[in-house]
């Protein structure tokens, strides 16, 4: 299959090793400025994936991210941030990375080249057609990811992908591809840069939109967030003070009594009736 890997094309800049620190930082920033515009063009594709994903999760399904290297780490990161942010179970959004959890910190040689391990990793979670699987690969050629999505397609599981190369094997495999063409990287082939930034932005959009659709946000507040440190407890107090028009001492009492913002609001309003 012939397609152009724009993520592998030569950088628009030459002689990086001759640039000053200010020139390097400025030029990296200039490249980064183009990422949001590339993501904007993919909004219809993102919507196409999120639309069928919402009812799947509402009906008890799960969202899986599967990737290798930087892409896999970004999926794991986004998945791991959903429980504390939205108060959802840890097995609602699951990130899988080629090579297992050790690969989050240290690259595992050849892990991404397996054409069987991706599906095996999904099977460990009793994957079914209730779930949604999103493959993440900047290049769009990672065997670990592509083969996993192929098996999902065979089983009637909704598949999506996030890639940065148009008409890549991954984009052609996923039922709902998201293709964000960011062009050549500042350092040739270093897809941890613009491609990684684009993937992170799309992941934020997917999970945040799904969680809002699932009712995990009230107004613009994370009322189901886990109050796991002093900063978040203080944020919870402020939410209650504003939402219920009460003073801090009462807000503190409600949080201690009911554990989180949603429960505090609901029970306080019931008591007022």
Catalytic residues, by residue number, are: 81, 112
Name 51's bridge partners: none
Angle at 70 between CA 89 and CA 73, to 5 degrees: 20
DSSP symbol at 140: S
Using alpha carbons, select from 149, 187, 3, 88 the residue that is nearest to residue 162. Answer: 149
DSSP, collapsed to helix, strand or coil, labels residue 163 as strand
Q: Largest Cα–Cα distance of the chain, in whole Å? A: 71
Contacts of 210 (CB under 8 A, 6+ apart): 50, 53, 54, 57, 63
Using alpha carbons, select from 179, 138, 183, 197 the residue that is nearest to residue 44. Answer: 179
Question: Where do we find the tokens 């991706």?
Answer: 118
* C-alpha span between 22 and 35 (Å, rounded): 21
DSSP, collapsed to helix, strand or coil, labels residue 23 as helix
């Amino acid at each position: 299959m012939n397609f152009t890997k724009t993520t592998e094309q030569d950088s628009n800049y030459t002689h990086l090793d001759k640039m000053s620190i200010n020139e390097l930082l400025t030029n990296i920033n200039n490249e980064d400025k183009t990422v949001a515009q590339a993501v904007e063009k993919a909004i219809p594709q993102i919507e196409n994936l999120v639309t069928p994903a919402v009812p799947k999760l509402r009906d008890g399904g799960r969202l899986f991210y599967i990737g290798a290297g930087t892409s896999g780490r970004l999926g794991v990161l986004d998945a791991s941030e959903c429980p504390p942010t939205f108060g959802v179970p840890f097995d609602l959004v699951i990130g899988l990375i080629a090579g297992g959890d050790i690969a989050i910190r240290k690259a595992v040689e050849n892990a991404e080249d397996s054409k069987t391990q991706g599906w095996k990793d999904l099977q460990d979670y009793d994957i079914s057609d209730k779930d949604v699987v999103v493959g993440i690969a900047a290049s769009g050629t990672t065997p670990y990811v592509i083969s996993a999505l192929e098996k999902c397609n065979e089983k009637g599981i909704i598949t999506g992908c996030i890639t940065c190369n148009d008409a890549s094997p991954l984009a052609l495999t996923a039922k709902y591809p998201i293709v964000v063409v960011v062009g050549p990287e500042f350092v040739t082939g270093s897809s941890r840069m613009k491609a990684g930034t684009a993937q992170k932005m799309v992941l934020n959009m997917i999970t945040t939109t799904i969680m809002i659709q699932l009712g995990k946000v009230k107004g613009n507040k994370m009322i189901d967030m886990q109050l796991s440190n002093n900063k978040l407890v203080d944020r919870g107090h402020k939410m209650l003070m504003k939402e219920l028009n009460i003073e801090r001492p009462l807000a503190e009492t409600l949080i201690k009594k009911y554990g989180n913002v949603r429960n505090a609001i609901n029970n306080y309003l019931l008591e007022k009736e």
